[in-house]
Structure 1
Amino acid sequence: MAMKKFDLEKNKALKLMQSTHKAGPERFGKDSTPATLDRREQRKLDQAAGLVPFACKLNADLVAQLKTRAEQHPEGLTGLLTELLQAGLAKDAS
């Protein structure tokens, strides 16, 4: 069974697109962006800073409020939560 010319050209185009997306030298200024840390490196930095992961389940409305406030916070969500928890714990202690 012979392939139609359109299908042959389509396959050529797909092969070309796949070859351009394979690992190779980065192009168009992608090398100029700072390298991001992989998860393992980030975990080591967090541990050195005394940070530990802490997961909990919160109401969706509360999470939305936190995310909104965290956008303006200089340290993001983690900084905002740290501030709020410390303030809450200090209030309970007094």
Structure 2
Amino acid sequence: KRTQAFQIIDQQQITERTAVTFIPLTTEMMSNYWDSGEPADKAGGYGIQGLGAAWVSRINGSYTNVVGLPLAQTLALIKDMTEGSEDIVDPL
């Protein structure tokens, strides 16, 4: 499971949880993936937006959360925080 949390201007925060299910992996599959170099700079050890996607059988939650930032939730939070402000362009 991947959990992301963030806070904007000490006013509001959200936590988004996403469960990622993988197909059964062999040691050889994991070793070959490591040798590709892709997972070396990934916080979770795999890139769902790259080769790692081939092993994902199910995502329960936000795809963008797995990539790194729950976009829909972030935009909703920004919209809530800036409601009524004339200086902010509504992204939604």
Q: TM-score, normalised by structure 1?
A: 0.28
With CA pairs under 8 Å and 6+ residues apart, which has the higher RCO, 1 or 2?
A: 2
Q: Which has the higher helix share?
A: 1
Larger Rg: 1
Q: TM-score, normalised by structure 2?
A: 0.29
Q: Which has the higher strand share?
A: 2
